[in-house]
Structure 1
Amino acid sequence: MDSTFIGPIVSLLFIVITAHLLLKKYNPHAVLLFSGLLMLSIALVLNYKTPQLSEPSGFGGFDLFKFIKESFVATNANVGLMIMIIGGFVAYIDKIGASKCLVHVAMKPLGLFKKYPYLAASLVIPIGQILFIAIPSAAGLALLLMASLFPILTNLGVSRTSAASVITASTALGIGPASVITASAANIVEIDAVSFFINNQIGIASILSVVMMVSYYFVNRYYDAKDPASVEEIIEKKEETIKAPLIYAIIPIIPIVLLIVFSELFNLFPVPITLDTTTAMIISLFIALVFEMVRTRDIKQVFSSLKIFWDGMGNIFKGVVTLIIAADIFAKGLISLGFINGLLELSLNLGLNAAGIIIVMTIMIFLASMLMGSGNAAFFAFGPLVPKIATKLGINSTSMILPMQLSASMGRTVSPVAGVLIAVSEIAGVSTLQIVKRNLIPLIVALLTMLCFEII
């Protein structure tokens, strides 16, 4: 057999084995890590091109473990640090009672939705999508919504899984000039990112948001009806004493306000001022500490309470960040064995017309993103090839790049190894597979809707 096909076939075998072990409830950290290392080892033996290390050791056997080291360094310096900081902040505001205050204050105007909890849950999708334009970090925004909206939704009467599912769904469409994937897509087709957003993304994203709202309304209501105990458990815990001042209700939403006000999308100041998510969370933590100092007038106690923040960061690191790193090694293994290239070759050799190629490429990216847990990784592998393929097919590059770009972020939302789902599931106290089960039908409906609009 041609060695060109061995890698993709082996990678498919590993996908099946990995999925089987995860469904059998083997430890996901170990399964993903060892599967990734084995695939990288096979890639080295077959002389496949492996991901570039910043400082290779000179010996392939050692380099396998350097992949883990560099993944730790890259993750902890970027998304890992952000997730840990947010996790610590969520733990802290919960401990000082700010989350309960937000729920108490929000429940009064939202009392109307007590009879329609699933409508309230579905409305999170367009609201979150608008916020996602200004806060273009899926994991960052989802965790901010976990701190602010999650307790409100569960108190309205939806299950923890339903609340977690709509929060992750609000990050399913990677649109907006500040989005990395949008910037990449616009650069590939050589148009301005703002123009691409206004002329191409807004229209289809609005339609897909409505489709997802309707789908999630029925899907979550159906699953919660099948498991009423999950909702009853929440309802039993609703009556809790509010010990902190009600002014504490503003603390959970401070990070969101900061990120919107100081976003690159708004020029509110003579000199541009922008904030990243991690810095906004640290500022918000110190504001919360000031609140506690004013309330307790006990500096020693406030200083001691900071341990809650560090413990929250540690819990997120051991449960979430390490799993993201293991998933990254798994993705590297798939890429090294030519999984992405194999999908690409398959789609181009099927002898389809332009519409058929767009459909196949879009679905391929959706599946690749779902398997690797990264929309960016899947799109960056396929996206640069679009101009060449579009020219060959005699079609507009934009009509091809848009569904591919959106399907990448949609696929991430149904991936059990995606950082956003891992982080949300940890705080919600549910498994990633439970969230994936809620997300799968609405996202497939949205994918098919998008393909119909783009192809017809």
Structure 2
Amino acid sequence: MLGVLITLAVVAVVAYCVLKNYYPPIILLIAGFVMLICAAVMGTPPMAPEKSTHFFGFDLGEAFTALMRSRLPGLGLNIMLIAGFSVYMDRIGASRALVKLCVRPLQAIRSPYVLLAVTYIVGQFMALFINSAVALGLLLMASVYPLLVALGVSRASAAAVIGSTCCLDLGPASSNAMRAADLLKTDVVTYFVQDQIPVALCVIATVAIGQFFVQRWFDRRDASKLSAEGAGEKQDIEKAFEGAGPVHYAFLPMLPLVLLIVFSPMVYAGVKLSLQTGIIVSIVIAFLVDLITRRGFKDCCKRTEAVFEGMGKVFTSTVSLICCAELFAMGVNKLGGVFTLISAAASMEGAGVWVMLFRKSYSKLLDVFSDFFPHFTRVRAAFSKVGCIQLKPLEGQ
């Protein structure tokens, strides 16, 4: 029971700190160390005896070091290389070239809500190669958004579709896909092709159709606002393509995915290509293409700095968070609080009866409280409109 109380207290403090905008990795790291210390006091050491440094203070550091060693060469390095490649593609103008190539055909579609649905599909396709959701969103907002508004779609609908283009975490470059493939003991390309694509095609089609009908319904409901919104924005579309590379640069962001699929067990198993090697090869090819196209060796070398800038930024924002969160999870597991709660819930026979009794008593308590505090009745009614408080008792009570 003590483990449960400590776990709940630490989780509450972590939640408070995160809400107050403290740096999440260090908060999770400190919380993990606190729980490991508490677990050690309760008889569960942070490290197994065969891996112990034989000094408790060093064992705490060794626990985190072991997590770093297990994550950095694998998932951590994958994420950093992907981020570095993505920043490099943006630096040389390849990302903008890809968006320009994909967006140009959309301008031939004159039906606003057909364009809305197609925008979602094209955006989801581009998300496979532009791994930064922020970068893709900004590019689409600068290129497709004015076109949608000029055709009569409301600003809210256009922004909603663009914001949802990264809602599916797809592709070998996805950290979630890497982790899922690791758990399934398969390579990430096989997982992407055999497991993700069949589901993703159905989801993308469903969401695109839903965007067509839902956004049109909302726009018709707010039809009076549309005429004033769309004026004078179509001329801004060209600004999105400033800094875009030549048209053949559009194929550079696709290189890692193409290489990984071609040299995979599903296509050609004679050559084994890892994700990390595929990205490194793609960076080298992109560098050579940039050098041949622009013929400025010093400038081309300078632009490759973006690779390491991107790797460093994603380490501070994502990889460090993963490692610190895993130490936090280790502390939770060592304390045994979550396991205790799960075991207690599983062993409770007739738990539903207790929940029903609590619900009925809670409703009676609200009635009594409302009698003594008339103003609370209005607050309660306001909450009930959004479903926060159930006022009606269950049938049969």
Q: TM-score, normalised by structure 1?
A: 0.56
Cα deviation for residue 285 of structure 1 reads: 0.4
Partner of residue 56, structure 1: 52
Which of the residues 304, 318, 321 maps onto 1:320? 318
Give the superposition deviation at 1:61. 2.1
Q: Answer whether contact 2:7 2:335 (CA < 8 A) is retained.
A: yes
Identify if the C-alpha distance between structure 1 residues 108 and 204 changes in structure 2 by more than 3 Å, giving closer, same or farther: closer
Matched, 1:115 2:73: no
| Residue 41 of structure 2: aligned partner | 45
Deviates more, 1:341-350 or 1:99-108: 341-350
Q: CA shift at 1:95, angstroms?
A: 1.1
Q: Using a 3 Å threshold, how does the CA distance of structure 1 residues 250 and 210 change in structure 2: closer, same or farther?
A: closer
C-alpha separation in 2, matches of 1:142 and 1:246: 16
Give 1:85's aligned residue.
81
Distance 1:33 1:144 in 2: 27
Alignment match, 1:106: 102
Match of 1:368 in 2: none
User: What is aligned with 2:301?
Assistant: 303
- 1:22–1:243 CA distance, 2 compared to 1 (3 A): closer
Show the counterpart of 1:75. Answer: 71
Specify the structure having the higher radius of gyration (Cα). 2
2:79 and 2:42 map into 1 onto residues whose CA distance is 37
Check whether the contact 1:127–1:170 (CA below 8 A) recurs between aligned residues.
Answer: no
Task: Show structure 2 runs of 5+ residues with no match.
Answer: 146-156, 223-228, 353-397
Report the Cα offset of residue 351 of structure 1: 3.4
1:8 is matched with which residue?
Answer: 4
Root-mean-square deviation (CA), in Å?
4.4
Q: 1:324 is matched by which residue type in structure 2? A: I
Structure 2 matches for 1:85-164, cutoff 5 A?
85-111=81-107, 112=109, 115-116=112-113, 119-120=117-118, 122-123=120-121, 144=131, 146=133, 150=137, 153-154=140-141, 155-157=143-145
How far apart are 1:143 and its partner, in Å?
Answer: 6.3
Alpha-carbon separation, structure 2, partners of 1:175 and 1:297: 38
Encode CA deviations 1:95-135: one digit per residue, 9 max, x unaligned.
Answer: 1111111111110123349934763565479869xx9xxxx
Cα 1:248–1:205, aligned 2, differ >3 Å: closer, same or farther? closer
The CA distance in 2 between the partners of 1:183 and 1:258, in whole Å, is 21
| CA-CA distance at 1:305 after TM superposition | 2.6
* Alpha-carbon distance in 2 for matches of 1:179, 1:242: 37
The answer on 1:167 being equivalent to 2:174 is no
Residue matched to 1:414:
none
Tell me, in whole angstroms, the C-alpha distance in 2 between the residues paired with 1:286 and 1:205: 31
Deviations 1:162-196 (A, max 9, x none): 75665253359x899x8334459xxxxxxxx99xx
Structure 2 residue aligned with 1:28, among 24, 27, 38? 24
| Deviation of the 1:67 alpha carbon | 1.9
Amino acid at match of 1:255: P
Instruction: Tell me the CA shift for residue 340 of structure 1.
Output: 4.2
Name the structure 1 match of 2:242.
241
Aligned equivalents of 1:13 and 1:118: distance in 2? 47
- From 179, 182, 197, the counterpart of 1:180: 182
Q: Deviations over 1:180-239 (max 9, x none)?
A: 34459xxxxxxxx99xx88xx9998887777777788969x99xx9xx9xxx9xx78944
How far apart, in 2, do the equivalents of 1:113 and 1:183 lie? 47
Deviations 1:139-182 (A, max 9, x none): xx68647599656543323889975665253359x899x83344
CA distance in 1, matches of 2:324, 2:159: 26
Residue from 334, 337, 340 that aligns with 1:336: 334
Tell me the distance in 1 between the aligned counterparts of 2:59 and 2:110. Answer: 55
String of CA shifts for 1:376-414, please: whole Å, max 9, x gaps: xxxxxxxxxxxxxxxxxxxxxxxxxxxxxxxxxxxxxxx
CA deviation vs aligned residue, 1:327-382 (integer Å, no higher than 9, x gap): 121121112111442343134213379xx9xxxxxxxxxxxxxxxxxxxxxxxxxx
- Residue 285 (str. 1) matches residue 316 (str. 2): no
Q: Is the 8 A contact 2:102 2:122 kept in 1?
A: no
C-alpha contact 1:18 1:31 (8 A) present in aligned 2: yes
For residues 68-121 of structure 1, the C-alpha deviation after alignment (integer angstroms, 9 at most, x for no partner) is: 222222222111111111111111111111111111111012334993476356
Contact 1:36 1:332 in 2 (8 A): yes
SS in 1 for 2:344: helix
Letter in 1 for 2:284: F
Aligned match of 1:373: none
The amino acid that maps onto 2:169 is: S
Q: TM-score, normalised by structure 2?
A: 0.64
2:120–2:164: 8 Å Cα contact kept in structure 1? no
1:148/1:253 contact within 8 Å kept: no
SS of residue paired to 1:48:
coil
TM-aligned CA deviation for residue 21 of structure 1: 1.4
Distance 1:304 1:145, change over 3 A: closer
Q: Does 1:262 align with 2:263?
A: yes
Q: Tell whether the 8 Å contact from 2:124 to 2:165 is kept in structure 1 after alignment.
A: no
In the alignment, the residues of structure 1 paired with residue 240 and residue 123 of structure 2 have an alpha-carbon distance, to the nearest angstrom, of: 27
CA spacing shift, 1:280–1:248, aligned 2, 3 Å: same
Find the aligned partners of 1:24 and 1:86 in 2 and give their Cα distance: 30
Residues 52 and 245 (structure 1), Cα distance of their counterparts in 2 relative to 1, 3 Å cut: farther
* Unaligned 5+ runs, structure 1: 132-140, 185-192, 357-456
Q: 1:279 to 1:202 in 2, by over 3 A?
A: closer
Correspondence list, 1:363-442, <5 A = none
Partners of 1:32 and 1:107 lie apart in 2 by 42
SS of structure 1 residue aligned to 2:304? helix
Deviation at 1:59, TM superposition (A): 1.8
Residue 167 of structure 1 aligns to a residue whose secondary structure is: coil
Contact kept? 1:126, 1:170, Cα under 8 Å: no
Q: 1:258 to 1:82 in 2, by over 3 A?
A: same
